[in-house]
Structure 1
């Protein structure tokens, strides 16, 4: 029996969970700010994320989790990303190489977190989101264990408890900045 030349691990459904989260930017302010969560029980600073429900798209899960944990309504922010995924317009035999996709609403990063010494796996799909303008004035309750707070990117990077969260935020900022550099005034991007 043939073996794959690629290092492969497989997990049955009882051994993995998918989570989705988003970097939430406030584009209602002239200074770029990002929302992070103070997890009160452990005194940790985190990015908003949580488990995806069955039959829920990853995009919907990310938006729901951000709203549940922060109390803020938001929407996905279209950004330019370099990705190996073909666009909906590419043919089936498009070569597998990195290409620039403009105005993407797809995950910009994925985290693989081993649990129980590798017996279980958690996948976290990361999106980029922006605060809805009306949400900036009226925040919902959010989850009781979390206190959301907007910081400058630099302060958020200092506050985040885990290096992996810092890396996710840094990559999100890179994509947003790249998008802004190539945006025309007609695009209406203000981040």
Structure 2
């Protein structure tokens, strides 16, 4: 799947957490005006991301939160891809967050409803910037199930509850907010798990390259990134297993009981 120039095995040094809190507009930092995008110029980021967006602020009437999943079957190295059989397009499990639901719960629910598979999170070595808790400050450098991607999509004004709802942004979080999940080798797909408007969804297990050919460009890009993290994790774990096996093979024999 290409080089891993952007993903390194050794985590970068991160600044220690401090208890100092700064409030907007205090003397320790410049005032920010996120309502004036002309004050900011977009800057490029990594090869996996689009350029920076201006500092922004959205009221609740102008945004919508969702969660999605890239679901792998580690035993076969395949990925779950959905097919809308009537409208003839391919996509990944995704949906809006319900009131009172966490994004993690949304990701698992949507993956189940749309694919029919009971999905679990797939812990990976990621590039997350989420800090570790005081009890485990090294947590970001270990296996974790943090979201690996976030995407935005603008939507137009529309009629909602008999009134015109303003335009807004749909923010989607991906867990392996998009997330990475997994199903076992013997996973059985259940029927009738979707909503009434999802009856035409079919779930297929595909090789990653085949999946990327069927998906739209943005989702194919996310699958490629998820695969890079998954493959990176597999290689790290294989290296650790080999190291453990080597150390066990050279261990001195147990001494006989002198008694």
Q: Give TM-score scaled by structure 2 length.
A: 0.62
CA contact (8 A) 1:15 1:120 kept: yes
**How many residues were matched structurally?**
176
Counterpart for residue 84 of structure 2: 39
Q: In the alignment, what sits opposite 1:66? A: 111
Deviation at 1:91, TM superposition (A): 9.9
Residue 10 of structure 1 is matched in structure 2 by: 57
Q: How does 1:126-141 map to 2 (within 5 A)?
A: 126-132=178-184, 136-141=187-192
Map 1:1-191 → 2, pairs under 5 A: 2-4=31-33, 7-29=54-76, 32-89=77-134, 101-116=141-156, 119-125=167-173, 126-132=178-184, 136-143=187-194, 144-160=199-215, 162-183=216-237, 184-185=240-241
Give the secondary-structure state (helix, strand or coil) at the position aligned to 1:83.
coil
Greater than 3 Å deviation, 4+ residue runs: 1-6, 89-92
Report the structure number with the largest CA radius of gyration. Answer: 2
Q: List gaps (5 residues or longer) in structure 2.
A: 1-24, 26-30, 34-38, 41-53, 158-165, 243-259
Change (3 A) 1:115 1:177: same
| Alignment match, 1:96 | none
| CA positional deviation for 1:39 | 1.5
Q: RMSD across aligned C-alpha pairs, in angstroms?
A: 2.6
Distance change >3 Å, CA 180–CA 91, structure 1 → 2? closer
* Structure 1 residues 91 and 155: CA distance shift in structure 2, 3 A: closer
Shift of 1:106: 1.0
CA displacement, residues 88-132 of structure 1 (integer Å, 9 cap, x when unaligned): 23899xxxxxx9632111100001111128931001100000014
- Greater percentage in strand: 1
Moved more, 81-90 or 45-54: 81-90
Structure 1 unaligned segments of length 5 or more: list them.
93-98, 187-191
Q: TM-score, normalised by structure 1?
A: 0.82
Q: Match of 1:104, SS?
A: coil
